[in-house]
Amino acid sequence: MMNSDNSWIVAWSDSLGFPEAMPQWIYAAAALICTFCFVIVPCGALMSYFERKLAADLQARVGPNRAGPAGILQPIADLLKLLQKESRTEWNWKENIWLSVHTMALYSTLAVLPLGSMAVLVNTEMSVFLPFWAALVLALGTMLLGLGQNSVPGWFGGIRVAAQTLAGSFPALISLLCTGVRSGSFRWSSLAESQGFSPWDWTLLANPFQMIAFSVFVMSGLVLLAIPPLDGGLSMSDIHGGVASHLYGRRLSLFQFGRFYGFFFWSVITVVLFLGAWDLPVSLVNSLKSMGAHQLLALSELLWLLVKTFALMLLIIWIAKVNSRSRVDQITDFVWRVLSPFSLAALVGSSLWAGWRAF
Partner 1 sequence: MNLIKKEILTTDLTTWTIGPYHGSLPAPMRLRLSLDGEIITDCDVETGFLHRGLEKACEFQSWRAAVAYADHLDPECAVFGELVLCLAVEQLAEIEVPARAKCIRVILSELSRISSHLSYMVRMARAVGSETIIHYLLRDRERILDLFELLTGARFSINFLRFGGVQADVTDGFIERVLEVCELIRIRMKEYNDLFTFNFGFVKRTSRVAPISKDLVSFCGVTGPNARASGVSFDVRKKFPYSGYDRLDFETPLGQGEGGVLGDVHDRFLIRLREITQSMEILKQLLDVVPSGEYVNRKLAKDSVVPPGEAYSRIESSRGLLGCHVVSDGGPSPSRVQFRSPTLANLLAIPQIVRGIRIEDLPVVLASLDLGIAEADR
Partner 2 sequence: MKKSIFSAVGLYVRDVLLGAWSITGSCMTAFPYLLRWGDLRKEVTEGYPDPISSKTADDLPTRSRGLLFNDIDRCTGCGECEKVCPSRCIKIKDEPGADPSKLWVSVFDIDFSRCIFCGLCVEVCQPGSLAHTRQYEGAAYQVSDLVASFGRGTVTDEHRSKWAILRKMSESDEASP
Distance CA 359, CA 51 (A): 47
**C-alpha distances out from residue 304 to 235, 318, 358, Å:** 33, 21, 31
333 binds partner 2 (CB under 8 A): no
Cβ neighbours of residue 69 under 8 Å, at least 6 residues apart? none
Cis peptide before 229 (omega within 30 of 0): yes
- With CB under 5 to 8 Å by kind, the binding choice for 148 among partner 2, partner 1, none is none
70 binds partner 2 (CB under 8 A): no
How many other β-carbons are positioned within 10 Å of the β-carbon of residue 5?
9
Cβ at position 234, least distance to partner 2 in Å:
20
Name which of 65 and 295 has its Cβ closer to partner 2. Answer: 65
Cβ at position 215, least distance to partner 1 in Å:
15
Cβ neighbours of residue 90 under 8 Å, at least 6 residues apart? none
250 binds partner 1 (CB under 8 A): no
* Beta-carbon-side half-sphere exposure of residue 130 (alpha carbons within 13 Å): 22
| Binding residue (CB under 8 A) for partner 1 from 23, 86, 88, 237 | 237
**C-alpha distances out from residue 31 to 26, 76, 120, 320, Å:** 8, 24, 10, 34
Cβ at position 99, least distance to partner 1 in Å:
23
Which one of 107-115, 140-148, 257-265, 321-329 is the stretch in contact with partner 2 (CB under 8 A)?
321-329
| Binding residue (CB under 8 A) for partner 2 from 36, 46, 65, 159 | 65
**C-alpha distances out from residue 139 to 135, 145, 357, Å:** 6, 10, 39
Distance CA 182, CA 171 (A): 18
Which one of 50-58, 147-155, 193-201, 254-262 is the stretch in contact with partner 2 (CB under 8 A)?
50-58
| Binding residue (CB under 8 A) for partner 2 from 16, 21, 60, 358 | 60
Centroid of chain to Cα 68: 28
Name which of 131 and 232 has its Cβ closer to partner 1. Answer: 232
Catalog residues that contact partner 2 under the rule CB under 8 A: 54, 56-62, 65, 318-319, 321-323, 338, 342
Catalog residues that contact partner 1 under the rule CB under 8 A: 55, 58-61, 152, 156, 228-229, 232, 235-240, 321-330
